[in-house]
A = this chain, B = another copy of it.
Amino acid sequence: MYAPTDRTRLRRLPERGSYDRQAVHAILDEGFLCHVGFVLDDGRPCVIPTGYARAGETLYLHGSTGSRLGLRPGMDVCVGVTLLDGIVLARSAFHHSMNYRSVVVFGRARRVSDPREKEEALGALVEHIVPGRGADVRPGDRKELASTAVLAVPLDEVSAKVRRGDPVDEEEDYDLPVWAGVLPLEPTPGAPVPDPRLDPAVPLPAYVTGWRRARSAAGE
């Protein structure tokens, strides 16, 4: 269990919250796109989407040396990962909702400077998004590693929030002749589109044709 803090304690609908490590890890491992919030020099907030990967109790964020995310050696961030599982259609407008599994991580982002850690983190980023891919590709060279910023955020101040299941209506609304239920949603891969410059003799790997995010037990 992660210890709840002032920032991770849920103000609203606390029954949807969880500090369970396994539940948090499962959500982080299923997603691969996060939204990173940080504070600009003028004191105002900024949110940037980027890719991430988890390694143990560290979250590695992909940045770039030219981007705002890569600029500073260390800064407070808040990382949000949200898996949208469905639209919840209730009989009243008010009780419409979404089914989702989300994680929020608060922490100080450390800029990864050790070349070996950076190389491993970048490998993890590729491998996390497409498991099996890492072994096939040309690894980053020194110049590429230098022009990529990787931030490491410790998984320490963390919470998960989950809503699943049927709509919950006001008791007197259940008799309304209005369809109610859940429309499930899942990010679904289409047919792979080969690069026009790809040699047709190169086979399509099984990790592409079979790509699917592992839906963890927490998501059932």
Shortest CB-to-CB span from A7 to chain B, Å, is 7
How many copies make up the complex?
Answer: 2
Q: Is A211 an interface position by the 8 A CB rule? A: yes
Q: Which residues of B contact A48 (CB under 8 A)?
A: 80, 104
Shortest CB-to-CB span from A170 to chain B, Å, is 8
Instruction: Report whether A35 and B189 are in contact in the complex, using a CB–CB cutoff of 8 Å.
Output: no
A43 to B37, CA, bound (A): 12
Q: A136-B178, A189-B185 given as contacts; is B80 within 8 A of A47 (CB)?
A: yes
A201 to B178, CA, bound (A): 10
Q: Is A2 an interface position by the 8 A CB rule? A: no
Shortest CB-to-CB span from A75 to chain B, Å, is 9
Shortest CB-to-CB span from A195 to chain B, Å, is 4
Minimal Cβ-Cβ distance residue in B for A133: B89
Q: Is A26 an interface position by the 8 A CB rule? A: no
Contact of A177 among B87, B98, B202 (CB under 8 A): B202
Q: Is A102 an interface position by the 8 A CB rule? A: yes
Instruction: Report whether A140 and B92 are in contact in the complex, using a CB–CB cutoff of 8 Å.
Output: yes
Instruction: Report whether A39 and B39 are in contact in the complex, using a CB–CB cutoff of 8 Å.
Output: yes
A80 to B45, CA, bound (A): 11
Q: A39-B45, A87-B129 given as contacts; is B211 within 8 A of A183 (CB)?
A: yes
Instruction: Name the interface residues of A64-123: CB closer than 8 Å to any CB of B.
Output: 64, 66-68, 76-80, 82, 84, 86-87, 89-94, 96, 98, 100, 102, 104, 106, 122-123
Instruction: Report whether B194 and A179 are in contact in the complex, using a CB–CB cutoff of 8 Å.
Output: yes
Q: Which residues of B contact A55 (CB under 8 A)?
A: none
